[in-house]
Copies of this chain bind each other. A is one copy, B any other.
Amino acid sequence: MSDAREGAVPHLSAEEFRRLGHRMVDWIADYWARLESFPVRAAVAPGEVMAKLPAHPPEEGLGGDAGWEAIFKDLEDVVLPGLTHWQSPSFFAYFPANASGPAVLGELLSAGLGVQGMLWSTSPAATEMETRVLDWLAELTGLPASFRSDSGTGGGVIQGTASEATLVAMVAARERVRRKLGREAELVAYTSTQAHSSVLKAAMLCGVVRGVSDDVHLRQLGTDGAYALRPEVLERAIREDLAVGRQPFFVCASLGTTSSGAMDPVHALAGVLERTGVTAAGGWLHVDAAWAGSALVCPEHRGMLEGLEAVDSFAFNPHKWLLTNFDCNAFYTRERKALLEALSVMPEYLRNAATASGAVIDYRDWQVPLGRRFRALKLWFVLRHYGAKGLRAYIREHVRLAERFTSWVEADERFELATPRSLALVCFRLRPAPGEEPPATDARNRQLLERLNASGKAFLTHTVLPGVDGAPARYVLRMAIGAPRTEERHVRAVWEQLAALAQGA
């Protein structure tokens, strides 16, 4: 019972917390069971949610768990109508953001323990479990042994997002090259036009580029017909820059681009860096496999790893497609020293015997923030609950569904694949009508997507793929299969709806 004394702090009692906690767990289980009843994409107008929330904070608290009726009512009336349901089995937009029972329990436990893992000493279990579980994940995904912590020189860490992973890699690269070549080198980074926007954002944050449009210091290179970075294009760009006295310091390769799931040829790109002397100068090759990396739990998808031994860092998001709630990015480097040299700051108030001994990992030196949650718990729960076998089955089922969807697109002459299927991502569109100008085809596809999404029965998003060999750019629909509850009937339903809408398109 809450303490009602004047001036007392109205903490929930243990019994109140149990009751509310059980109720919240049940609410979530019910929510998951109701997912198919909601419009997938929120159907609210700007300001509509805000208007339902009081303009001023409450002076009085709720006075115990009975007061929480008001909160549960608002979850129904205010929150649910304003959500786009990422866990819906008919969510096929962007890339998936996986929640699962085991991961939710891990997040809950992490919050309940409320420990900080900034230093080994501030909760050794948080650090050592993270080290071990990331070594597990490296083994499960077939990464080179040099990326594991038990190599002694490399290691893994949980970052919040792929954006932070790229930023940390870029900063480590910047400092490594500067240590070799001095502070005045004019640094240049390279990626493809198809790389994730976070590469540009990282370059903006770390001051390498000077604004969004600086194509001198971050060169976003054109791709081949499969939207992959071409080694010869990278090599030409690097040699051009070297010739005018600029210093290449960082290349971000993508395995599974956001637009179309394209795979850059890591092995060949690493060869370019070696051949041009960029590697010798301390230059860094980072691989962003944010979405596709989860598929590496299946041996049949490990072809993309060719050349990974020569890579400096590699990151993917179990929070995208490996059943572990956001946020959970698995970041690996072959050279942990480069991170420490770029990111370590040691104020007096954090000094401690364990750190001084050099025998422990302090993950704060591997990341942007100082503080960190005990995120290894959720990954530990997921890996133990599902096991390697369960995770492989999970990925394979989504890939199988994407193959099914692809076959339906191919069998319908009104549609065409925009690119070959990549894992569980299918890019497709309405085929141009005879003599139709490209903007008209794009407009029909845009209308098709908007009508589908407005129905609330499914949610897909789009991209624009650049033209190849002088062809115009194309507006295409992305079917990204990866929600934990998606079954074949959901994929079939969205296809049937598309086919029906296409009749009038």
Contact = CB atoms under 8 A, between A and B. Distances in A.
A164 to B, nearest CB: 6
Interface size grouping (class) on chain A = 35 or more
Interface string A201-216: 1001111101110000
A207 B186 CA distance: 13
A416 to B, nearest CB: 19
A9 B394 contact: yes
Interface stretch (A79-87, A279-287, A305-313): A79-87
Given A44-B125, A258-B347, A327-B371, 10 more contacts: A7-B393, A9-B390, A24-B105, A49-B128, A56-B139, A57-B388, A59-B387, A87-B113, A97-B116, A99-B114
Closest 3 CB pairs of A and B: A82-B125, A207-B207, A21-B25
A382 B101 CA distance: 24
15 contacts: A12-B101, A17-B101, A20-B101, A21-B108, A58-B388, A59-B387, A61-B385, A82-B125, A86-B114, A86-B115, A99-B114, A198-B345, A200-B345, A259-B348, A259-B349
Given A18-B25, A20-B101, A31-B113, A136 B12 contact: no
The A interface is mostly helix, strand or loop, or mixed, namely helix
A359 interface: yes
A178 B210 contact: yes
A411 interface: no
A354 interface: yes
A198 B41 CA distance: 39
A247 to B, nearest CB: 14
A384 B41 CA distance: 28
Interface in A98-133: 98-105, 107-116, 120-126, 128-129, 131-133
A20 B112 CA distance: 15
A346 B193 CA distance: 13
A368 interface: yes
A114 B97 contact: yes
Contacts of A84: 115, 121-124
B97 A325 contact: no
Given A28-B109, A124-B48, A12 B94 contact: no
A56 B135 CA distance: 8
A478 to B, nearest CB: 7
B46 A17 contact: no
A114 B325 contact: yes
A386 B7 CA distance: 12
